[in-house]
Amino acid sequence: MNIPKIPLADWIEAIEDWMKLNFDPLFQLIKTIIGGMVNGLEYVLLGIPAIALIFIFAALATYLGKWKIGLFTLIGLFIIHNLGLWDKTMQTLALVLTATIISVVVGVPVGILMARSERLQRIVTPVLDFMQTMPAFVYLLPAVTFFSLGVVPGVISSIIFAIPPTIRLTNLGIRQVPSELIEAADAFGSTSRQKLIKLQLPLALPTIMAGINQTIMLSLSMVVISSMIGAQGVGNDVYRAVTQNKTGIGFEAGLAIVILAIILDRVVQNMMKKKSI
Amino acid sequence: MAILEARKVTKIFGSDPKKAIPLLDKGWSKAKILAETGATVGVNQASFTIEEGQIFVIMGLSGSGKSTLVRLLNRLIEPTHGELLFKGKDILKMNAEELRQFRRKNVGMVFQKFALFPHRTVIQNIEYGLEVQGIPSKQRREMAMQSLELVGLKGYEHSYPNQLSGGMQQRVGLARGLANEPDVLLMDEAFSALDPLIRKDMQDELLELQSKMKKTIVFITHDLNEALRIGDQIALMKDGSIVQIGSPEEILMQPANKYVERFVEDVDLSKVLTASHVMIKPETITLERGPRVALELMRSRGISNLYVVDKSRRLLGIITAEDASAAIKSGQTVEEVMIKDFPTVSPETIVNEFFDTISNTKVPISVMDEMGKLKGIVVRGAVLAALSGNNEIEVGELR
C-alpha cells in the first residue's frame, strides 16, 4: 500500500503566509518595540565613553557581586576594548539584554500561572520542550519572513530559544515552596496575591534567578546564529571568521563572548547567593 | 458560653465524597466504606462543644484524623458535611471573604513544624497576620512586640528563624498565632517536634500564658501525658471518629471502651493522679474534746492517731495515742501535746511530687485546701493501691 506523504511542509508554509498576510500590523508593532529597545540600549552603551563605562560596569559588578568579580570585569572589558571589539560587544550586549528582559517580563508571569494550574502546566511543558529542542536555525526563517533581516528576528529567535528556563524554573521555584508555609499563610487569611508577593516569589527568587541566568547564557549562545540574519555584534565576527577560515579573528571574537558570559553569569549567581538565606 | 460547636462535622477524601455520607449514617466502618466506594473517611461525624477559655485537646494516634479535624475548624481543609458554629455563626456557610476575615481576626494557628517564613525576621514573622489585614506598620510592630515579649523572646526580633533553636522557633510560632489576639488558637501538635524537656517547659509556659489570657485553645496531640497535663477537656479520636470526650479524670477513670482503656493503661499514673485522687478520709476530733475522749475514740476505731481540727475543719495538729495517754497522766491539754509540725499538700498536687515526703514521714500527709481546711490524708497504702493498675475500684473506695 502506498501511503502518501503528509504535506506538513506545505501546511507550515501556508500558515506562515497566512500569518504574514493577516498579522503584519502586529509584527510591525513588535518589530518597532524590540528594534527600539535594542537601539536605545546600544545608544546608551555606545554613548558613554568606553573607559568610563568599563569602570561603571566594574563598580556595578563589585556592588552586585563581590570585588573579585569587579576586578575580573575591569580586566576582561579592557581586553575586549584593547582587541578593538568594544562597539561590537556592546551591540551584542544590547541584543542579549533585550532578549533577556523580554524573556523575564513574559516568562516569569507565565511560570507563575503555570505553577497555579495543573492544566496549564500540562499544556505549556511540551511547548517548552519543543522550543528548546527544535534546532534554532529553524526559527530564523519565519522570523525573517515576519520581521525581515536585521537584529529583530535575531532577538525573537533568541527569546524562543532562551525563554524556557525562566518559565520552567519560575514554575518550579513556586511549586517548591513548602506546603506547610502555604498552609500557614492561608491560616492567617492571606489573599492569593499576598501569598504570591509575600511568600512564594521571595522564596522562589533564587530558583527564578537560576532560570534567568540560564536564559542569559542561552541567548548569548544565539548571537552567532543571529548574526547570520543580519544582527550586528561580535557574533558577526565569529561568523565571518568561520566562513573565511580565519582562526585568529574567530578566537578574538569568541573570547569577547566568553568574557561577557562569565561576567554576566558570576554577577547573577552572586545576586542569587545574596538573596537566598 | 460555647464559642465553637461542631455538629456531625465530616470529611471524606475521594472522588465522590457525598456518596459516602449516607453510608456513615448507616454506621458503616471506615474500612468498609473504603473497600466499597474507594472514599477515605478523614473525620467521621465529629460533634463537640468548646467552651470559652477552655483548652480542648484532640488526641489520637497518627492517622486518627486529628490533624484533619483541626484543619476543618478554619477550613484549611474543606469539610464535606456538617455544621461548625463559631459564636453561633456557621463557618461552613461563610464565603471566601468572610472566611478570610474569620481567619485574620478570630482564629490563630500554631503548626507542628513551626512553618515560620525563612525569609522573614522573627518580628516580621509575628507581624504576618497583622500585615495581611492591612494594619499600619507602626501599630502592627507594636502589637507584634507585645506578642514577642509574651513568649519571652525580646531581643531576638531581628534574628532569622534558622538562627533559633527548635523551642525558640515554636515560641515565635506561638507569638505569631497570638499576635492578632484571636478568639480561638489552634495548635496542631505544636510541641511534638520538640525535645521532651523543652516540650515540658513549653507546656508549663502555655499553661501560664493561659492563666493570664484565658484563650480558647484547641490543642492537637498524640501524647496522652501531654493531653492529660494541659487539657480541660479531651476528645479521643480513632479512625476519624471521636471515641470519648471528657475531662482528663473521666478519660482515665471511666474509659468509654476497650480502645480508650488500652490507650490509657500505659499512663504513668504518678504524673497524672493528684493528692485528691489518693487521699482517704481522716478521723478527726475538735480541740475542745480532751485527751481522754481522743484516746477513747482511737481505741474504739482501732487507730493510732487523730486529726485535730477546729469547728470549720481547719487542721490544727495531729495527736497520737501515746501523746494522748501521756497528756492524761500529766494533765496537759490536747493543744499542748499534739504534733504541730506535719507535712501538707494541696489537693491538686501530683502524686509524683510528694513521693519523697511520703517515704520520709512518720505521720500521713495531710491534704489541705487553700483555706487550711482538712480535705483528707494520704497514706502509703492508698498511693500504692492507686498506682497499681486496678486503681478504678480501689481509689473509688478509698475516697
Q: Is A186 on the interface with B (CB under 8 A)?
A: yes
A259 lies in some domain? yes
pLDDT(B185) > 90: yes
Chain centroid to Cα B112, Å, comes to: 18
Whether residue A156 is predicted with pLDDT greater than 80 in this model: the reply is: yes
Q: Is the pLDDT of residue B398 over 60?
A: no
Assess B115–A contact: CB distance below 8 Å, yes or no.
yes
Reduced to 3 states (helix: H, G, I; strand: E, B; else coil), residue A245 is coil
In tens, the pLDDT along B207-234 reads: 888 888 888 999 999 888 888 888 999 9
Examine the pLDDT at B399 and tell me if it is beyond 60.
no
Taking CA B171 as the corner, what is the angle to CA B169 and CA B172, rounded to the nearest 5 degrees?
A: 65
Sequence-ordered list of residues with C-beta below 8 angstroms from that of B318, at least 6 positions apart, any chain: B305, B306, B307, B308, B338, B339, B342, B363, B366
Helix (H) or strand (E) holding B133: helix B122-133
pLDDT at position B38 is: 82
The pLDDT assigned to A261 comes to 93
Q: How many residues does chain B have?
A: 399
Whether the CB-CB separation of B46 and B19 falls below 8 Å is answered with: no
CA distance B391 to B398: 10
C-alpha distances (whole Å) from B147 to each of A12, B163, B170, B381 are 65, 19, 13, 48
pLDDT grade for A275, boundaries at 50, 70 and 90: low
Q: Is the pLDDT of residue B44 over 70?
A: yes
Instruction: State the ipTM, two decimals.
Output: 0.78
CATH number (domain holding residue A258): 1.10.3720.10
Residue A276 reports pLDDT greater than 60: no
Mean pLDDT value across chain B: 86
Is pLDDT at B113 greater than 80 in this prediction? yes
DSSP state of B136: -
Mark yes or no for CB contact B162/A198 under 8 Å: no
A125 in B contact zone (CB under 8 Å): no
A141: in domain: yes
Question: So what's the pLDDT on residue B250?
Answer: 85
Nearest of B142, B151, B364, B186 to residue B275 by alpha carbon:
B364
pLDDT bin (cut points 50, 70, 90) of residue A72 is: very high
A19 domain residue, yes or no: no
Q: What is the pLDDT of residue A223?
A: 87
Rounded distance between C-alpha atoms, residue B252 and residue B228, angstroms = 9
Higher pLDDT, B96 or A21: B96
Report angle CA B250, B205, B76 to the nearest 5 degrees: 75
Q: What angle do CA A28, A31, A33 make, to 5 degrees?
A: 110
Residue A214 has pLDDT above 50, yes or no: yes
Q: What angle do CA B19, B25, B30 make, to 5 degrees?
A: 70
* pLDDT band, residue A277 (cuts 50/70/90): very low
Distance CA B149, CA B170 (A): 14
Q: Which residue has the cell 573607559?
A: A51
Q: Which of A178, A183, A203 sits opposite B76 (nearest CB)?
A: A183
Which pLDDT band holds residue A137 (cuts at 50, 70, 90)?
A: confident
What average pLDDT score do residues A249-276 get?
86
User: Does A6 reach chain B within 8 Å, measured CB to CB?
Assistant: no
Predicted pLDDT at B396:
36
Domain that holds residue A141: 26-275
Nearest-Cα residue of chain B relative to residue A201: B119
Query: Is residue A189 a part of any domain in this protein?
Result: yes
The answer to whether the CB of B64 falls within 8 A of the CB of B243 is no
In a domain, A33, yes or no: yes
Q: What is the set of domains in chain B, with CATH numbers?
A: 2-106+182-267 (3.40.50.300), 275-398 (3.10.580.10)
In a domain, A89, yes or no: yes
- Note whether A189 contacts B102, CB cutoff 8 Å: yes
B129 touches chain A (CB under 8 A): yes
A190, A198 Cβ separation under 8 angstroms: yes
- Picking from B132, B160, B176, the nearest residue to A194 by CB comes out as B132
How many CA atoms, within 13 angstroms, populate the side-chain half-sphere of residue A94? Answer: 26
Is A80 inside any structural domain?
yes
SS3 A83: coil
Please name which of B358, B397, B360 lies closest in space to residue B377, comparing C-alpha atoms: B358
> Based on the structure, what is the number of domains in chain A?
1
